[in-house]
């Protein structure tokens, strides 16, 4: 599928997008990556959605990335005798391990590890932060709190603990089972929830055994604090602004978003900006102006991808939501200011031969009439380095590895083409020219830049850059075939 934009669109699948016709329509409308939310749907439903995506991919001859989003440990209160209670500011309220039904004075919090970590003065946020409690006294089995912000508390509402690093693994027993299931199924990316430290990512990577790339969701203050170390061991990042906005003051989220996006760009690792991007489109065919500005801001920052959650999974207008994102992205990227911002925020990284090659490829392309940069990449590393440069011309990533092509669907500007194995650079140039023509990104009278590594099929060996006149390469190919 030829896109007229560089930023990628991630669409979550769910009850509103559960059959072949809808999933195909979403891809044709602009969805490059489909997210399978492991918090919803059993394994049979996930398997069925996965099969449909792969069928759409085959029918349209267009690589599609599949992202499985693991649920992570969910912290929730127990149940109330009346179903719900009203907490008023200044009132006392106890959380404990007693499984008895709750009332206006107490409720069960069945997570001993929280009590082990709490200290007086810590805050607990209930129901997405709508209720705020401050710990006055605590022990191994209880926390006596004061209600700071009141409201209605009801059965099994979620609890956030922003002030402490909880001694919880990022992977629950359910997550481990889900991880093995989706890796065997054949997903391309694993999104890891509740990341607090690099060790959380290391554990998931050990279990994945190279079957999927690891994307860390940044949704905890501890993850922001440890971000550099987490980024170093992750393949990609999701700025999950929902929980991040609950656990941190909301005014902190925009600058954090900008900082994380820039760090990911510098590291040549894909970054998704997610949560509530077009939330009004769950029920409305039109977004708010503020939502459009929010989407545009993420694109101006240089994010690799922007994500739809309930808008495409459970909303009434999933196709319209994807189309809106596509239209906003196309308009923003056509703005001269966008190019100025992207290039002003580019960081020069020159620590390897590959860094120098991709930088030279961009400079050649932008200083001449070259139409595209074509890079051969078995592991995907070279394509990610080219994408980090954010060139003004199109990027074509050629690989014989379908898994690499799918994973690169998340990376900024990469148009992925699966080709046969290439053993000579001349053959690589011919394959690149044919791909550029087939993708409509060049004509016979145009030139392209080709990057590759010799010897071929060796990850991380990028060491050649060549300007190739398309017509000349085609003549050579016809004479030698």
Which residues does the annotation mark as catalytic? Answer: 35, 76, 217, 275
186: left (phi over 0), alpha (psi -120 to 50) or beta: left
Instruction: Point out which residues pair with 218 in neighbouring strands.
Output: 239
CA distance 460 to 17: 39
At 129, give phi and psi (nearest 5°). Answer: 85, 5
Token digits of residue 55: 């069928």
Token digits of residue 147: 């209600």
Residue 164 vs residues 112, 150, 190, 393: alpha-carbon distances, Å = 14, 22, 26, 46
How far from the centroid of its chain's Cα atoms is residue 276's Cα?
Answer: 14
3-state secondary structure at position 28: helix
CA distance 223 to 201: 11
CA distance 179 to 167: 21
Instruction: Point out which residues pair with 142 in neighbouring strands.
Output: 96
CA distance 105 to 96: 11
CA distance 426 to 162: 57
CA distance 197 to 207: 17
Instruction: Point out which residues pair with 192 in neighbouring strands.
Output: 216
Closest CA to 388 of 266, 298, 306, 300: 266
Residue 261 makes CB contacts below 8 A (sequence gap 6+) with: 239, 271, 273, 298, 301, 302, 303
Q: Which residue has the tokens 């209600």?
A: 147
CA distance 122 to 132: 11
3-state secondary structure at position 170: coil
CA distance 33 to 27: 8
Closest CA to 147 of 91, 80, 220: 91
Instruction: Point out which residues pair with 271 in neighbouring strands.
Output: 237
CA distance 199 to 226: 11
């Amino acid at each position: 599928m030829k896109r007229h934009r560089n930023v990628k669109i991630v669409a979550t699948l769910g009850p509103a997008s559960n059959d072949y016709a809808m999933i195909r329509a979403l891809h044709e409308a602009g969805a490059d990556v489909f997210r399978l939310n492991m918090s919803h749907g059993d394994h049979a439903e996930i398997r069925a959605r996965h099969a449909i995506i792969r069928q759409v991919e085959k029918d349209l001859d267009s690589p599609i990335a599949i992202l499985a989003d693991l649920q992570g440990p969910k912290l929730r209160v127990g149940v109330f005798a009346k179903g719900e209670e009203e907490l008023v500011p200044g009132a006392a309220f106890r959380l404990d391990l007693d499984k008895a039904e709750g009332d206006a004075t107490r409720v069960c919090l069945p997570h001993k590890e929280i009590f082990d970590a709490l200290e007086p003065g810590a805050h607990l946020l209930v129901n997405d932060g709508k209720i705020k409690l401050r710990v006055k006294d605590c022990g191994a089995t209880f926390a006596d709190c004061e209600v700071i912000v009141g409201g209605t508390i009801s059965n099994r509402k979620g609890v956030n603990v922003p002030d402490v690093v909880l001694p919880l693994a990022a992977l629950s027993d359910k997550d481990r089972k889900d991880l093995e299931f989706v890796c065997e199924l054949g997903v391309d990316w694993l999104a890891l929830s509740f990341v607090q430290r690099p060790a959380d990512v290391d554990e998931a990577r050990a279990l994945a055994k190279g079957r999927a790339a690891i994307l860390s969701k940044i949704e905890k203050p501890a993850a922001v604090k440890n971000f550099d170390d987490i980024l170093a061991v992750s393949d990609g990042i999701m700025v999950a602004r929902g929980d991040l906005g609950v656990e941190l003051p909301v005014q902190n989220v925009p600058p954090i978003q900008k900082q994380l996006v820039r760090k990911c760009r510098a590291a040549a690792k894909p970054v998704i900006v997610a949560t509530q991007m077009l939330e009004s489109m769950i029920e409305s065919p039109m977004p708010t102006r503020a939502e459009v500005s929010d989407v545009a801001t993420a694109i101006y920052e240089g994010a690799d991808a922007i994500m739809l959650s309930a808008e495409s999974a459970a909303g009434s207008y999933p196709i319209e939501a994807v189309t809106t994102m596509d239209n906003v992205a196309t308009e923003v990227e056509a703005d001269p200011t966008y190019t100025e911002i992207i290039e002003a925020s580019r960081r020069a990284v020159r620590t390897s031969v590959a860094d120098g090659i991709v930088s030279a490829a961009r400079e050649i392309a932008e200083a001449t009439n070259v139409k595209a940069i074509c890079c051969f990449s078995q592991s995907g590393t070279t394509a990610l380095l080219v994408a980090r440069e954010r060139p003004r011309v199109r990027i074509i990533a050629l690989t014989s590895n379908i898994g690499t092509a799918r994973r690169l669907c998340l990376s900024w500007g990469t148009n992925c083409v699966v080709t046969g194995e290439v053993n000579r650079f001349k053959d690589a140039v011919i394959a690149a020219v044919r791909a550029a023509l087939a993708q409509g990104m060049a004509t016979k009278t145009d030139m392209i830049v080709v990057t590759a590594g010799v010897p071929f099929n060796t990850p991380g060996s990028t060491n050649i850059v060549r300007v190739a006149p398309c017509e000349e390469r085609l003549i050579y190919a016809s004479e030698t075939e």
